[in-house]
Chains A and B, each alone.
Chain A
Amino acid sequence: MSEQHHDGRGNLSPPEFEQVFLPHLDAAYNLARWLLRNDQDAEDAVQEAYLRACKAFPRFRGGDGKAWLMTILRNVCFTMIKRSRSHEKPEPFDEEIHQAAGQSDLREAFRQQANAETLRSALEKLPDEFREIIVLHDLEGLAYKQIAVTIGIPIGTVMSRLARARARLRVELITSNVRQSSP
């Protein structure tokens, strides 16, 4: 597999780099946009990731190009996040509402009001690692194994982190509905 990406002297074979990686542009942008929350930063991060991927391409030994690109991209994104948010404190997690979220009468509220807007704002409230894993799995359709490679964590951790991320998203959805329906 790797041979087809390189010419005989081990140099880059540029059209092939683009063939392998440009199809993942939307997926890359989607992840960057969700992580960085604005268009300009997301575009810069994606471009930076493509440049790094291109430079590192000779070390790419075939296999999963999407996971490989996403690995580079998430590193770029988290570096940018660290740089820009080092002074911010994470929003405290409301334990009371968290407990209430399990109640079944709230399930109905969630069912009725889950739409693109509530989903968007709920997902934006999640911690970066949770948002990331939901985007990778539920939006971009990466398998657990690909996510394990991308993030650099064991598959078991992918499973538990995704479960916690979804549970937390459920809580955010329900609390946004509760806030909406009680003035």
Chain B
Amino acid sequence: MNHDDVSRLLGAYLDGELDLTTCMALEEHLAGCESCRQKLEADQELVAVIQSETPRFEASPFLKTRIHAALRAEKSLPLPFWRRAWLLPGVAVAALLILAGYIYYQAPGIPPLVQEAMADHVRSLQVSHLMDVASTDQHTVKPWFAGKLDYSPQVVDLAPAGYPLIGGRLDVLDDRNVAALIYQCRKHYINLFIWPSNGPSLPGRLYVRNGYHALGWTRSGMNYMAVSELGEQEFADFVKMIQDKTVETRPGE
């Protein structure tokens, strides 16, 4: 083995990646070659420094939450053919669009606004876009909307009741940009859309479609629309708590 061979193999030698025969041949050369031994030392030092000093980035807890949510949404779709092994990812995306479209267009008896909110909810769980701002802190989420919307949604904390706020998102509903707050209940998510009312009040009636619940109401000039796949009782509890906690705002506030 000559100097060039050794110099080519030194890294793999240090990494313990050489087979026994090559390893022995290399050590034999090293034993009789001062300059290659020095190279080895320098490399050893370098690798030790790289491995011990280079900072390693760690995933934030929110990333884990986001991925859980995205994976959960991926798996919980009510269409059975979604999960078939032979399906290509592209077909899965098509299935999503069909589902969203299905909810949107094929739901007699459900007002278009509610259908649209349900479709937004499904889409938010699907397209790796549950949250634009991930925070459990209402004082982080509320200012985040400033500058993105021409109104300021009231952000209520329900963590003590078991419905922690986990983030916010801009979405489109009723032909305008709206604030979407995302709450979690166990492994389920609730989208709460909030936007200024410029028409008749929402009727406060519960709609059910494909396991999704939706309920809209109007208070202090703001429309609220909650959508979730939560069970009916838990969903109703959530809505009640939001309604109780949303205080009357004075004009100009």
Enumerate chain A interface residues (CB-CB to B < 8 A).
6, 10-12, 14, 17-18, 22, 25-26, 28-30, 33-34, 39, 42-44, 46-48, 50-52, 54-56, 58-59, 107, 110-111, 114-116, 119-120, 123, 134, 137-139, 143-144, 159-160, 162-163, 166, 169-170
Contacts and interface: CB of A to CB of B under 8 A. Distances in A.
A114 B11 contact: no
Q: Which of A29, A110, A160 has the most CB of B within 10 A?
A: A29
A24 B221 CA distance: 47
Contacts of B68: 18
Interface string B50-91: 110111111110011011101100110000000111100100
Contacts of A58: 85-86
B63 A46 contact: yes
Nearest to A141: B51
Interface of B: 8-12, 15, 17, 42-43, 45-47, 49-51, 53-60, 63-64, 66-68, 70-71, 74-75, 83-86, 89, 92, 128
Contact of A43 (B46, B51, B66, B74): B66
Nearest to B128: A47
A39 B51 CA distance: 22
B54 A25 contact: no
Contacts of B17: 143-144, 159
Contacts of A159: 8-9, 11-12, 17
Going nearest first, the 10 A-B pairs with the smallest beta carbon separation are A58-B85, A29-B59, A33-B57, A163-B11, A10-B85, A55-B89, A14-B75, A114-B49, A119-B54, A119-B53
A14 B49 contact: no
A12 B83 contact: yes
18 contacts: A11-B83, A14-B75, A25-B67, A26-B59, A43-B60, A43-B66, A44-B128, A54-B75, A56-B89, A58-B86, A110-B46, A116-B54, A119-B54, A134-B54, A144-B15, A159-B9, A160-B8, A166-B47
Report whether over half of chain A's contact residues are helix, strand or loop; otherwise say mixed. helix
Given A30-B58, A52-B89, A144-B15, A47 B53 contact: no
B7 to A, nearest CB: 9
A72 to B, nearest CB: 11
A146 to B, nearest CB: 11
Nearest to A145: B17
Nearest to B89: A55
Contacts of A14: 71, 75
A177 to B, nearest CB: 12
Contacts of A25: 59, 63-64, 67
Contact of A55 (B8, B50, B53, B92): B92
A144 B59 CA distance: 25
A17 B43 CA distance: 39
Contacts of A139: 51, 54, 56
